[in-house]
Amino acid sequence: MGSERWPALVEYFEGETGKLANLGTLEEQMQACLKWYTETFNYLITENTLNLSNINGIIPGVVFIGLDLRTLVANDNTHEVLVYNEARPNHELWNLIEKVLKKSIPGFSKQTLAYLQWAYGEKEEKTWEIGSRPPIGKYAPSFRNRARTGANRDRNERGGNQGGNRKGNSRGNQKRGQGGGDRRGSSEQKEKSALLDVNNAVKKLKKDPNLNEVKLSPTNSFYRRLQHKHAISQGFESISSGEGNDRSVVVKRGKDEANEA
């Protein structure tokens, strides 16, 4: 995630949930989120209309706001998910979102609300026959996928009795099977290595009472989050340290244990 994303959620995704929890209610979290984005994307509060001169300073902020509000709602126990269904709208949730938008970005509150209801609206499923008039808008991608699937199936059926095709498909399946196995093995190995790194740090801290923290090897945000959870399960605390590819987890003693030491 880049510097244009709300830092509180960046830390949340990396397993550091403290700051997000301390912000208070869902409404207070939304207000803090919008406040940060209006400071980062100033056009959201200094402009009232969207045009070619300000579009690059507004659209990214609106999209990021939508992504972060969805995460905040999913993390809140009051509501299940951020979904808009015109026939069965969740008035309480969407009224809250509208209230926060009007207060934080009055000039673009209506446009942002309309975008959120479109982006998180329940999609209508339609089946289109091959050769019929192609759909437009949000139905086009699924239509193209179904068209490709049907065309591939027809080709396989036509060429199913040809030895050359069977031989080629066999080689392709073998390659895909081998590649998939390697990827799964590699992922499992990285996960085990990440957790082993935490276990070694815990052993060092338990063995040496004068040692207050141990820095782990750098890894990506997915494995760092696993390491944060594993460190906490072992009775220790953890933080992330460093930037970019050098960012890593630091395992620290809990406050009670540090006082005893």
CATH of the domain at 227: 3.30.1370.50
Taking the C-alpha atoms of residue 139 and residue 194, their distance in angstroms, rounded to an integer, is: 42
Task: Please report whether residue 129 resides in a domain.
Answer: no
Percent of the chain with pLDDT over 70: 70
pLDDT given at position 82: 78
pLDDT given at position 168: 47
pLDDT given at position 231: 86
Considering the domain architecture, whether residues 19 and 93 belong to the same structural domain is answered as yes
pLDDT given at position 24: 87
Considering the domain architecture, whether residues 194 and 241 belong to the same structural domain is answered as yes
Considering the domain architecture, whether residues 236 and 197 belong to the same structural domain is answered as yes
Considering the domain architecture, whether residues 176 and 196 belong to the same structural domain is answered as no
Q: Please state the rounded mean pLDDT for residues 145-166.
A: 53
Task: Please report whether residue 127 resides in a domain.
Answer: no
Q: Confidence band (pLDDT; 50, 70, 90) for 164?
A: very low
Task: Please report whether residue 205 resides in a domain.
Answer: yes
Considering the domain architecture, whether residues 180 and 194 belong to the same structural domain is answered as no
Considering the domain architecture, whether residues 106 and 14 belong to the same structural domain is answered as yes
Q: pLDDT tens, 167-214?
A: 445 454 544 444 444 455 577 888 888 899 989 999 999 999 899 999
Tell me which H or E stretch contains 27: helix 26-40
pLDDT given at position 163: 47
How far is the CA of 137 from the CAs of 87, 113, 118, 134, 144, in angstroms? Answer: 21, 19, 12, 10, 12
pLDDT given at position 192: 86
| Overall domain count for the chain | 3
Considering the domain architecture, whether residues 15 and 78 belong to the same structural domain is answered as yes
Q: Confidence band (pLDDT; 50, 70, 90) for 4?
A: confident
**241: containing domain:** 186-260
Considering the domain architecture, whether residues 72 and 103 belong to the same structural domain is answered as yes
Task: Please report whether residue 75 resides in a domain.
Answer: yes
Considering the domain architecture, whether residues 168 and 223 belong to the same structural domain is answered as no
Task: Please report whether residue 109 resides in a domain.
Answer: yes
Q: pLDDT tens, 92-141?
A: 889 999 999 999 999 999 999 999 988 888 765 555 555 555 555 555 55
Taking the C-alpha atoms of residue 139 and residue 50, their distance in angstroms, rounded to an integer, is: 26
pLDDT given at position 128: 55
Considering the domain architecture, whether residues 180 and 190 belong to the same structural domain is answered as no
Considering the domain architecture, whether residues 40 and 111 belong to the same structural domain is answered as yes
